[in-house]
Amino acid sequence: MVNGEGGTVHRLPSTVNLLLVALIAAIPIACKKQQPLSPNLNVENKVAIRTVALYFESPDMLLVGERRDVALPGNRAGALAIVVRELFKGSANAAVPRLFPADTVVRGAFLLTEGIAFVDLGGPTLTQGWGTGSHEELMATYSLVQTVVANFPEVRRVRMLVNGQPAETLAGHVSLARALAPMPSLVAR
């Protein structure tokens, strides 16, 4: 309440009262000292070297696993994007062709509780239209699917997006209209 001229009492609007109460309540929180950053963020994020399986095309035109040690955070969702980026680096064997265009990037990766992983891809080639053949697109698509499912047991299917949007295809041959399950017939035994 505010005492005006002539002894008149005016009430502050209730929204102003609520705002004042909220600001006063926030003062102790804002004044708390923040914890200093850890001198070793790898320890803070529980980063450890883990062996992952990445799938590349073999001379037999099938996918084969290649083991690689990668620094991954303990957070599974954070690890997903790193594993896919590692796949995009290509095989350690220089004779194995790259499956995705060299300018492909991982814009984001998400794990859903229903056993589906979303991987959002980007890059000039995928954005402007990747002019590759059907076999190359099939191998690229399923190398990503196989890599994700092999390294994240809770994932059964992978949905690919391009620039944050559902994509019909990467290069015009393989439908991405739904989440894809691994295709065992494409993996060498």
For residues 39, 43, 49, 55, the Cα torsion angle rounded to the nearest 10 degrees is -100
Question: Is the entire prediction scored with pTM above 0.85?
Answer: no
Examine the pLDDT at 128 and tell me if it is beyond 80: yes
Alpha carbon distance 178, 156 (integer Å) = 13
Q: Is the dihedral of CA 46, 51, 55, 56 positive or negative?
A: positive
Mean pLDDT of the chain: 86
More confident site: 2 or 83: 83
Domain ranges, ordered by start, for the chain: 2-31, 41-186
Confidence of residue 72 (pLDDT cuts 50, 70, 90): very high
Q: What is the per-residue DSSP string for 39-87?
A: S-HHHHTT-EEEEEEEEEE-TTSSEEEEEEEEEE-S-HHHHHHHHHHHH
- First-residue to last-residue Cα distance in the chain: 80
pLDDT at residue 156, rounded to an integer: 97
Looking only at the bridges linking them, the beta strands covering 157-162 and 116-122 are parallel
Alpha carbon distance 79, 85 (integer Å) = 10
pLDDT digits (tens, 9 = 90+) for 167-189: 999 999 999 999 999 999 999 98
pLDDT digits (tens, 9 = 90+) for 106-116: 999 999 989 99
pLDDT at residue 36, rounded to an integer: 60
Identify the burial level of 39 via C-beta atoms within 10 angstroms of its C-beta, where 0-12 means exposed, 13-18 middle and 19 or more buried.
Answer: exposed
- Specify the DSSP element, H or E, that contains 121: strand 116-122
More confident site: 1 or 25: 25
pLDDT digits (tens, 9 = 90+) for 20-67: 566 666 665 555 556 665 555 455 557 999 999 999 999 999 999 999
